[in-house]
A and B are shown apart, each in its own frame.
Chain A
Amino acid sequence: MSDILPSFKKKEKVDKKLKKEHAELIAPPGE
């Protein structure tokens, strides 16, 4: 069964900085 699904190939290392601008996400409840 494992042949059907290959292993996901991801870049070895994440090189992006975490930015404080994205810390607090504010929006009203919705749907």
Chain B
Amino acid sequence: MKILKEMARGCEYEFSVNRYPPILPGIQLSDIIGRTILALKNLGFISKVMWSVEDEIGNLTYERGLFDSWLFAEGPYEIAFNGMRIYDDAQHLEFSTPVFRSPIDAVVYDKVAERLAFLGIEQIRKTHGELYCYKTNNSLLKGSYGYEAVAWGTHGCYCVSRRIFNFENWKNVEKILIPFIISRIPLIGSGGVLPIRNEFSFEPPTSSRLCGDKIIYVISPRAIYIKQLSSIDTTVDRGFLNLRDEPHANPNKYWRLHDINFEAIRSDFQIFIRDALEVFTLRAIEEGLLQNPPIIKDPIEAIRKVSMNINEIDQFIELEGSNKARLLSDILSYYISAIEKLIELRGDNEDHKVFKVIESVIQKLKEGLFEYLNGAIDWIAKMMLIEEYNAKDMDMAIICNQYGLLDENTGFYEGRIEKGDTLFDPESSLAFLEEVFPFVKSIKEKIKYGMNNPPTDTREYLRTNILKEHESEIIKMNWWKIYFKGGLITLDEPLRYGKEESEEILKIKDLKKLSEVIRGEAK
């Protein structure tokens, strides 16, 4: 892989946790999630070092609020030895992966997050009863006045060039990326059920609570919650694009594209191609290969239409100027053509192979050959389970939730054979990924390693090794800054400081000296 290894990125997963019978959001949920995180610390996955909240400059008030709402005398401990940040994000159990640089690690740290979540929940069940953790993006509640649902997030973070991604050029970024976000839905959708009346309705209209008198199955539940083109907000008035300027790296060189419209998917293959498609597209933008994309007339209406229509994926979408274009054959194809040029210019055989597979998935979707993709694409897997069970009404919700259930089955990737109730089949999911991409080798070993270790080819290698060796000397840290007694280490290049580069640095046992070497002030 060449192009696919050129970009630093990570993913943020919010998992929902609740008891059965379920409790309403509030202090009890915070208590359960906090205890789950403390259990992971007691299991040895999380360090005692505190997160540097003051550096969360893109979202400081919110982050201070999270810190202040921690219920326990000790903690909050958030920094895992594998480089993850694990925390209570407003009553969701959140796992932010370490920075990685390949779609293989996108899969690895996704599965590590699933496993860690279950291991924590398993501990709390011993004292707090029947608890469940789900990898989904929306709630669903049936009450006497109908159905209601709210959403939470799965976010991709991609470290891109500030030369292109900046506030001054944002209208252009919107122009280029919004048609992509709409047309990729059939490839990255998770599938789920949502309330609806005659149309999707937020009640009250200023809220982010969907209400309805019936429920329908959609390709992308998360897409329905988008209300505007760009937003700083991620919880109510969500945008196609997020304006948070918080690069976690050299701010003069990088912008962190906070893609808040990822979804909670479980298929290993789909996680892989979602990451690859994102990197290819963003690199094509950086190379100036996407200058004149098709402009969709009403993006919010279009993404809802795309998410709802499971019968004709390659449907017509209205463009500005009263033209129409097909979703996949024309709009997504525009991006695919640019990616093909990018790979011709700079790619290697593996980049090319991944690209051809993505093309092939698109072709299957165009032709409606869903049976080829069952289990490979989550929204198709859930849809086919609904058909298989002949499920109606809330049974459709059970299927979607039980598919996202993080239970004993997460141990499959660690070589365990315990079976749970989840409808997701990790064995066939991984087998398909390995069949399509034979170069994805030893993924189970990588997942076992990833439970306690970061990728070896990004700055996470140095950051977490400093953490492991100097835990008691570190006051606080975040993604790129380590505050120790008497100094600060700044790692502003996320693709540097991998194993090879760090071996010599890690021989220095004095943190002050080590910080000087990283700054280039000493050898």
Contacts and interface: CB of A to CB of B under 8 A. Distances in A.
Contacts of A9: 428, 431-432
B194 to A, nearest CB: 12
A2 B361 CA distance: 9
Interface stretch (B296-304, B333-341, B368-376): B368-376
A3 to B, nearest CB: 9
Interface in B224-275: 234-236, 238, 260
Contact of A24 (B136, B141, B431): B141
Contacts of A6: 432, 435-436
A27 B132 CA distance: 12
B508 interface: no
Nearest to B153: A31
Given A10-B374, A30-B91, A30-B152, A25 B208 contact: no
B14 A4 contact: no
A22 to B, nearest CB: 4
> Which residue of A6, A10, A14 has the most chain B CB atoms within 10 A of its CB atom?
A10
A30 B153 contact: yes
Interface in A1-31: 1-2, 4-11, 14, 16-31
A29 B208 contact: yes
Nearest to A26: B22
A7 to B, nearest CB: 5
A27 B30 CA distance: 11
Nearest to B151: A29
B374 A8 contact: yes
Interface string B128-142: 001010101011111
A25 B134 contact: yes
- Chain B interface extent, by class: 35 or more
Contacts of B209: 29
A25 B140 contact: yes
A5 B372 contact: yes
A17 B421 CA distance: 8
B401 A23 contact: yes
Given A1-B363, A4-B357, 20 more contacts: A2-B360, A5-B364, A6-B436, A8-B372, A11-B425, A14-B388, A17-B421, A18-B395, A18-B399, A21-B132, A22-B132, A22-B421, A26-B22, A26-B141, A27-B18, A27-B92, A28-B150, A28-B152, A31-B155, A31-B235
B18 A8 contact: no
B29 A7 contact: no
Interface of B: 14, 16-18, 20, 22-25, 29, 89-92, 130, 132, 134, 136, 138-142, 150-153, 155, 208-209, 234-236, 238, 260, 356-357, 359-361, 363-364, 371-376, 385, 388-389, 391, 394-395, 397-399, 401-402, 405, 421, 423, 425, 428, 431-432, 435-436
Nearest to B152: A30
Contacts of B360: 1-2, 4-5
B372 A21 contact: no
Nearest to B432: A8
Contact of A7 (B142, B260, B371): B371
18 contacts: A5-B360, A7-B371, A7-B372, A8-B428, A19-B421, A21-B132, A25-B134, A26-B16, A26-B22, A26-B25, A27-B17, A27-B25, A27-B29, A28-B152, A29-B235, A29-B236, A30-B89, A30-B152
B92 A25 contact: no
Contacts of A26: 16, 18, 22-25, 139, 141
A27 B208 CA distance: 13
Nearest to B208: A29
Contact of B425 (A1, A10, A28): A10
B432 A22 contact: no
